[in-house]
């Protein structure tokens, strides 16, 4: 959330031996450059000082700090380790070494480095704060909690430790504890981090379906976002902003601030001069999700089907290797699979530049484990944001993101002002879908715990997408449809009791809410086909969840709002030939559900349409989608090759004879 700003080490002996005076003058010169923010000159000066006096840890630590500022994390680590070898009990040297390891995403090594601090060296609150952060990033959430409690025992009013404690509790599924930590951090004040804590508080409260403070939390989030200066560079949970508000202007503002924060010390490489494109366009995809993950499920067939006579595909993986069949499938689908999980952003960008990638595609955006700083280095001449994050990155082409890939419904040209990037619009739905996914099989309502004769309204979206306003509409429908039940997916252990209580407060028998446990995909699709209607959420629609419902033959009714995230289901419906189920207002949404609830023949006709659509609809035509995506990639690269700046691209449907991708 925040980066550490180690102050220059200034402790010098009162009497300087004559042979060290030149080194001290170099060191003092380095301090002047550091104070002026000229870290390149500071590094040179500190380097001279440490060469003249190689056993002086003060010089080495200042050199390490300057090298970190300049992105030379390997060199900084060597300098810090040299200082540690000379003085193992130097807490600052150990902290800088750990920071260098963390900057390279070597979080477990960073934690180990800190834990190796000699017993006789006092352990400060700052030590435990840093240890807690390293352990959290290494995935050791329980150990991180223990370290952060140690930090708070030494400084109970440290807001950032409360915030990080909330992150660790949240990662362990201890969401009620997480909300208390976020609230405490906000009371103590995080300064520029208040927006992040408020966003996560609102988001986690939504996950719990604990709505007592929902309106106040969202209002506070909006106030903080609106108060951001135009040139703000603050950390924020952009994903929380996107999922709990339907305000595209504020979403862009927050994304812009977060981009600036993440990339504030990044220097872009020299631009690549326009050049003729190769016969095989070199395309790289960057993600932490190249394993068993929803993004991989959507993209695997795309990688496999892109025409290798026209494309050279590299996958840059900065996530874990789970050893899954999906990981092996992705490796086989790429011309080049590069594991960059232990490399810094600069090193990844250097690898991409070395590989002479023409078009680089980010599949994460402002989601957990996203690494947008790679793109701020301008690793490739053309850079795109696609699929992983349902909104703008906040980066302009000048910043490093040239295009945002969408379509005419989720991101129409009329909404171009909602995006900092130029729009690159697919001719159909932006979302790829795998036609090879399992078909629904036999499954009975008894197996699913559903009443045999009831009208089943299915709302399988995750709890964070469910708001009091959405639930009000659903409960009004249950009042008007006494034979209906509301079928929800039990995503966590907290939401069922909360939602049953909310239903009772609205005069609905809690037993009319039926919760389905999570099961495997094949069984899930078979069970999903039992629903009569899938009723969508807003301002964050179902994405993969909604396309699963359509594949299972279940009609989806949605309300299309103003933001990308609130228009995804409308795009899916258009791509299966059912645009009439995307409603322009909440009142229309409620009326359409009520109308279909009372018209079994109409529901059956929609079901039959969707079953036929598996073989005919553009949404499930993965071969045409892949060709279109390939044409879009070429279109972005061709503009650059011709020396033209990025501009909106609206891709037309391919000609009847087809076009290779």
486: domain CATH number is: 3.40.50.2000
Phi, psi dihedral angles at 485 (to 5 degrees): -125, 155
**What is the rounded distance in angstroms from the CA atom of residue 298 to the CA atom of residue 395?**
25
Do 578 and 451 lie in one domain? The reply is: yes
Residue 170 lies in a domain: no
**199: buried, middle or exposed (CB in 10 Å: 19+, 13-18, 0-12)?**
buried
Q: Which of residues 426, 454, 475 is at a domain's end?
A: 426
Q: With respect to residue 624, please indicate whether it lies within any of the assigned structural domains.
A: no
Q: What span, in angstroms and rounded, lies between the C-alpha atoms of 200 and 223?
A: 15
In this structure, the answer to whether residues 549 and 611 fall within a common structural domain is: yes
Torsion of CA 224, 226, 231, 237, to 10 degrees: 50
Q: pTM of the entire structure?
A: 0.91
The last residue of one of the domains, among 97, 122, 147, is 122
| Confidence bin at 265 (pLDDT 50/70/90) | confident
Segment 538-554, tens digit of pLDDT = 999 999 999 999 999 99
d(C-alpha 177, C-alpha 189), whole Å: 18
Under DSSP, the state recorded for 459 is E
Range of 52's domain? 1-122
Please tell me whether residues 553 and 524 are part of one structural domain.
yes
pLDDT band per the 50, 70, 90 thresholds, residue 191: confident
Q: Binning pLDDT at 50, 70 and 90, where does residue 15 land?
A: very low
Claim to verify: residue 406 and residue 535 sit in the same structural domain: no
Pairwise CA distance, residues 358 & 282, whole Å: 5
Q: Do residues 386 and 365 touch, judged by C-beta distance below 8 A? A: no
Is 602 in the same domain as 473? yes
What's 421's domain CATH number? 3.40.50.11380
My answer on whether 451 and 596 are in the same domain is: yes
Give a yes or no: residue 193 inside a domain.
no
Q: Number of structural domains, the chain?
A: 3
What is the CATH number for 26?
A: 1.25.40.10
pLDDT at 2: 45
Computed over every residue of the chain, the mean pLDDT equals 94
Q: Same structural domain for residues 419 and 285?
A: yes
The per-residue pLDDT for 375 is: 99
**Based on the domain organization, do 322 and 416 belong to the same domain?**
yes
Q: Is 570 helix (H, G, I), strand (E, B) or coil?
A: helix
Contact between 116 and 145 (Cβ < 8 Å) = no
Domain assignment present for residue 504? The answer is: yes
410 and 476 in a common domain = no
Indicate the residue among 64, 95, 122 that finishes a domain.
122
Identify whether 629 is part of a domain.
no
Q: Is residue 195 part of a domain?
A: no
Do 421 and 483 have their domain in common?
A: no
Does residue 618 have a pLDDT over 80?
Answer: yes
Do 451 and 388 sit in the same domain of this protein? no
Distance CA 6, CA 29 (A): 18
Taking 90 as the threshold, does the pLDDT of residue 436 lie above it? no
Domain membership of residue 439 (yes or no) is: no
Residues 416, 484: one domain?
no
Strand partners, 649: 424
What mean pLDDT is predicted for residues 386-401? Answer: 98
Please give the distance of CA 307 from its chain centroid, rounded to a whole number: 29
Which of 570 and 191 is assigned the larger pLDDT? 570
Question: Residue 291 gets which letter from DSSP?
Answer: S
The C-alpha atoms of residue 519 and residue 516 are separated, in whole angstroms, by 9
The string of pLDDT tens digits covering residues 48-106 is: 999 999 999 999 999 999 999 888 888 999 999 999 999 999 999 999 999 999 988 89
**Residue 645, domain member (yes or no):** no
**Gap between the Cα atoms of 15 and 299, Å rounded:** 65
């Amino acid at each position: 959330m925040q980066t550490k700003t180690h102050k220059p080490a200034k402790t010098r002996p009162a009497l300087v031996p004559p042979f060290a005076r030149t080194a001290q003058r170099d060191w003092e010169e380095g301090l002047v450059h550091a104070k002026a923010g000229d870290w390149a000159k500071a590094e040179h000066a500190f380097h001279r000082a440490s060469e003249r006096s190689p056993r002086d840890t003060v010089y080495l630590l200042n050199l390490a700090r300057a090298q970190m500022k300049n992105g030379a994390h390997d060199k900084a680590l060597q300098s810090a380790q040299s200082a540690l070898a000379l003085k193992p009990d130097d807490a600052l040297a150990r902290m800088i070494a750990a920071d260098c390891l963390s900057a390279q995403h070597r979080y477990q090594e960073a934690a180990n480095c800190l834990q190796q601090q000699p017993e006789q060296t006092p352990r400060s609150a700052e030590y435990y704060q840093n240890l807690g952060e390293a352990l959290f990033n290494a995935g050791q959430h329980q150990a991180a909690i223990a370290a952060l409690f140690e930090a708070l025992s030494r400084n109970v009013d440290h807001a950032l430790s409360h915030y990080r404690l909330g992150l660790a509790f949240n990662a362990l599924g201890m969401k009620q504890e997480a909300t208390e930590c976020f609230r405490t951090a906000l009371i103590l004040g995080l300064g520029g981090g208040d927006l992040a804590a408020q966003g996560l508080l609102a988001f986690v409260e939504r996950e719990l379906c604990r709505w007592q403070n929902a309106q106040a939390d969202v209002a506070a989030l909006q106030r903080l976002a609106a108060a951001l200066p135009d040139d703000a560079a603050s950390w924020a949970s952009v994903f929380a902003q996107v999922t709990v508000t339907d305000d595209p202007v504020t979403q862009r503002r927050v994304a812009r601030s977060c981009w600036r924060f993440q990339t504030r010390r990044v220097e872009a490489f020299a631009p690549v001069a326009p050049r003729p494109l190769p016969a095989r366009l070199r395309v790289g995809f960057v993600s932490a999700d190249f394993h068993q993950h929803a993004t991989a499920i959507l993209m695997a067939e795309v990688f496999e089907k892109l025409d290798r006579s026209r494309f050279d595909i590299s996958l840059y993986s900065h996530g874990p290797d789970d050893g899954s069949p999906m990981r092996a499938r992705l490796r086989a689908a790429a011309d080049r699979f590069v594991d960059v999980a232990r490399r810094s952003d600069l090193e990844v960008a250097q690898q991409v530049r070395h590989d002479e990638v023409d078009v680089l595609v980010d599949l994460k955006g402002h989601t957990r484990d996203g690494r947008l700083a790679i793109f701020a280095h301008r690793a490739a001449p053309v850079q795109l944001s696609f699929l992983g994050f349902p909104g703008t990155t906040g980066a302009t082409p000048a910043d490093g993101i040239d295009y945002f890939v969408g379509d005419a419904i989720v991101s129409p040209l009329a909404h171009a002002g909602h995006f900092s990037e130029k729009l690159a619009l697919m001719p159909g739905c932006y979302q790829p879908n795998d036609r090879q996914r399992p078909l629904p099989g036999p499954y009975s309502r008894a197996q699913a715990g559903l009443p045999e004769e009831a009208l089943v309204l299915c709302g399988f979206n995750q709890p964070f997408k469910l708001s009091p306003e959405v639930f009000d509409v659903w409960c009004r429908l249950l009042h008007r449809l006494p034979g209906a039940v509301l079928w929800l997916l039990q995503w966590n252990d907290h939401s069922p009791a909360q939602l049953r209580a909310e239903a009772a407060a609205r005069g609905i028998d809690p037993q009319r809410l039926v919760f389905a446990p999570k099961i495997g995909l094949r069984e899930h699709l078979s069970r999903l086909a039992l629903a009569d209607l899938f009723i969508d959420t807003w301002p964050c629609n179902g994405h993969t969840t909604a396309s699963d419902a359509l594949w299972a033959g279940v009609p989806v009714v949605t309300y299309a709002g103003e933001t990308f995230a609130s228009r995804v289901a409308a795009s899916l419906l258009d791509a299966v030939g059912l645009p009439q189920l995307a409603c322009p207002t909440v009142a229309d949404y409620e009326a359409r559900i009520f109308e279909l609830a009372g018209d079994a023949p109409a529901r059956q006709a929609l079901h039959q349409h969707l079953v036929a659509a598996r073989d005919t609809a553009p949404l499930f035509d993965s071969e045409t989608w892949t060709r279109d995506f390939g044409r879009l990639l070429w279109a972005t690269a061709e503009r650059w090759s011709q020396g033209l700046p990025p501009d909106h691209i609206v891709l037309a449907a391919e000609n009847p004879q087809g076009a290779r991708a």
